[in-house]
Amino acid sequence: MGNRLDQLNLNPLPLSHVASDGVEYAGLAGEIPRLAVLASPGAERVLDDFEGETSAVAGGTLRVGPRSARNLAGLRSRLDWLRPRPLGIHTSAGFGDRLGLATPGHIRALRAVGGGIAPVFAQQSIREMTRTGRAALEVVDDAVWGAFTEGWRQGLGADADHLKAPEDTDRCLAAGFTTYTFDPGEHVDSAADSADASGLRTSVTKLPWAALEDTEAALRARYLGKSFEVEHLRVAFDEPVLLRAAAKYGRAVAHVVRMERHLRSAAGTRPVEVEVSVDETDTPTTPAEHFWVASELKRLGVRWVSLAPRFIGRFEKGVDYIGDLKALDQEMAAHAALARHLGPYKLSLHSGSDKFSVYPIAAEKARGLVHLKTAGTSWLEALRTVAALNPGLFREIYAFARERYETDRASYMVSGELGRAPSPAEVPEGRLSELLDQLDARQILHVTFGSILKETGADGRPRFKDAVLGLLRANPEAHARNLETHFIRHLRPFAK
Give CA–CA dist 35/150, Å, rounded: 13
323/321 Cα distance (integer angstroms) = 6
User: How far is 63 from 34, CA to CA, in rounded Å?
Assistant: 10
Name 235's bridge partners. 228
Q: Choosing from 150, 161, 168, 289, which is the catalytic residue? A: 161
Helix (H, G, I), strand (E, B) or coil at 396: helix
Nearest Cα residue to 113 out of 93, 127, 142: 93
Which residue from 171, 90, 166 is spatially nearest to 124, judged by alpha carbons?
171
Nearest alpha carbon to residue 89 among 114, 115, 118:
118
Q: How far is CA 78 from CA 23, 71, 119, 426, in A?
A: 10, 11, 21, 54
Beta-carbon contacts of residue 354 (< 8 Å; ≥ 6 apart): 318, 319, 320, 377, 490
How many C-beta neighbours within 10 Å does residue 454 have? 15
Q: Which residues of 265-275 are buried (b: 16+ CB within 10 A; e: fewer)?
A: eeeeeeebbbb
Choice among 97, 141, 275, 316 that is catalytic: 275
- Is 434 one of the catalytic residues? no
Strand partners, 57: 60
DSSP type of residue 422: P
**Known catalytic membership, residue 275:** yes
* φ, ψ at 374 (rounded to 5°): -120, 160
Number of H helices, E strands in the chain: 18, 15
Catalytic residues: 161, 275
